[in-house]
Structure 1
């Protein structure tokens, strides 16, 4: 963690709040009841995770697109093509109910990590990128797993 700049680390951790909140409200009925009364049904349990997860996968497509701009030739074309996959995955694979959508988001974030590894290997991402992405992905997958497997 020491190699990750403070701003990306703090913002990345803050970006986990909807995933963690969704897992907590799934596991804790009084918290879910309070969240439902305070924020509404879209902001508790797996529903907040599914909506936000789709948004974040789409956002990460944009991040990868930005990394692809550092490449040229065939590597750039490959980077651009790969960068749209997370957004397309989120669009096509998050319907069908909370369990299947949650499972597909787990696959989507796992696949995104593979893309992060590729972009890092190609030297297109900052050195600290993989450390941050592994941490964030692990927490996201665990939180999504609460709604899918419990």
Structure 2
């Protein structure tokens, strides 16, 4: 009953690639050199994680906005208001250099998971939503942690 449908699971896991790639290039200097020379320096290490992370937080604001449309009145107003927080967080909190931006993205994704819980409690998400979001959030936070704490 709570099984994550295959397509959202595959797309969600595919969306982890830039986070995991960035962490991997931090651990493997030869891979980072290859990636930097073939893809460009913006697409390795923390740089790919930070740029992509801010894009994903903004994307998730849109997803939450869509969930807010499933209700009305004060709950809808609260949903719309909460839904813009991840995008605003990404905009204001990721410009202070790789360490602070990475740390703030970790907090942003943790906060996003809390918002996912709220929308789930309000019965605005699919029944499998939190299972997917917990899985994806754990991988994102672990990957971002490589850029911040290693």
Could you state the TM-score of these two structures normalised by the residue count of structure 2? Answer: 0.99
2:131 is matched with 131
2: CA distance, partners of 1:147 / 1:11: 24
User: What CA distance in whole angstroms lies between the structure 1 residues aligned with 2:141 and 2:129?
Assistant: 18
Q: Could you tell me which runs of 5 or more consecutive residues in structure 1 were left unpaired when the two chains were aligned.
A: none
SS at match of 2:3: coil
Cα distance in structure 2, aligned partners of 1:96 and 1:11: 30
Runs (4+) off by over 6 Å: none
Q: Which runs of 5+ in 2 are unaligned?
A: none
Q: In structure 2, what is the equivalent of residue 146 of structure 1?
A: 146
- Report what 2:45 is aligned to: 45
String of CA shifts for 1:59-104, please: whole Å, max 9, x gaps: 0000000000001100000000000000000000001110000000
Count of residues in correspondence between the two structures: 150
The alpha carbon displacement at 1:30 in A equals 0.3
- Secondary structure of residue in 2 paired with 1:3: coil
Alignment correspondent of 1:20 = 20
After TM superposition, the structure 1 = structure 2 runs for residues 1-150 of structure 1, keeping only pairs within 5 Å, are: 3-150=3-150
Partner SS for 2:4: coil
Label 1:21 to 1:77 Cα distance change in 2 as closer, same or farther (>3 A).
same
- Aligned-partner Cα distance in 2 for 1:18–1:94: 17
